[in-house]
C-alpha cells in the first residue's frame, strides 16, 4: 500500500511539483494545506500517514503546525517531515527539539529520501 502523504505548504507551485514527483515514485498525495488550521482539518479528515510541513508557512511557523499535528490524538500514526528552501543547519535546533522524523531540503525532495527517513 502506497504512503498517503499530506503536503503542508503555502506555495502551490512547490505543492504541484512535489505531488508530481512523489506520485511518480508511487506515493499518494492526499491533499494540500496552506495553513495550520487547514493542515489540522485535513489530517483529521484524510488520516494521512505522513505530513510534509514547510518550516516557513506564510506568517505561521512550521514547527508550531507540527506540534499541533502531533497533538492530534486520533491520528497517532501521523509522521511529520519538515521541508524548506532554507538550509537544514539554520533550523537544526528546532528540528531536533521537535517530534518530527527529520528534514528534507525542498530541492532534495524525493520518495527515496522520505522512505529513508521513515525507515530510520
- Using CB under 8 A as the criterion, which residues of the chain lie in contact with another protein when the complex forms? 10-11, 13-14, 16-18, 20-21, 24, 55-56, 58, 61, 85-87, 89-94, 106-107, 109-110
Are 37 and 62 a contacting pair, CB within 8 Å? no
Q: In the numeric block, which cell numbers belong to residue 113? A: 529520501
Distance, CA of 42 to CA of 38 (rounded, Å): 6
**Residue 82 β-bridge partners:** 53, 103
CB of 26 to another protein, least distance (A): 12
> What minimum distance in Å lies between the beta carbon of 107 and another protein?
4
Of 20 and 44, CB closest to another protein:
20
- The x, y and z cell numbers of residue 57, run together, are 508557512
What's the alpha-carbon Rg for the chain, to the nearest Å?
A: 13
Which C-beta is closer to another protein: that of 74 or that of 93? 93
Is the separation of the CB atoms in 118 and 101 below 8 Å? yes
Nearest CB to another protein, comparing residues 10 and 38: 10
Write down the least CB distance from residue 77 to another protein, Å. 27
Shortest separation between residue 92's beta carbon and another protein, angstroms? 7
Amino acid at each position: 500500500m502506497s504512503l498517503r502523504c499530506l503536503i503542508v505548504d503555502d506555495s502551490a507551485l512547490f505543492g504541484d511539483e512535489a505531488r508530481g514527483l512523489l506520485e511518480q515514485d508511487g506515493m499518494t498525495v492526499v491533499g494540500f494545506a496552506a495553513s495550520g488550521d487547514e493542515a489540522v482539518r485535513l489530517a483529521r479528515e484524510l488520516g494521512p500517514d505522513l505530513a510534509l510541513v514547510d518550516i516557513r508557512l506564510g506568517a505561521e511557523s512550521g514547527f508550531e503546525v507540527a506540534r499541533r499535528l502531533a497533538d492530534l490524538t486520533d491520528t497517532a500514526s501521523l509522521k511529520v517531515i519538515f521541508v524548506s528552501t532554507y538550509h537544514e543547519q539554520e533550523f537544526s535546533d528546532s528540528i531536533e527539539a521537535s517530534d518530527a522524523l527529520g528534514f528534507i531540503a525542498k530541492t532534495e525532495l524525493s520518495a527515496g529520501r522520505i522512505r529513508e527517513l521513515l525507515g530510520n
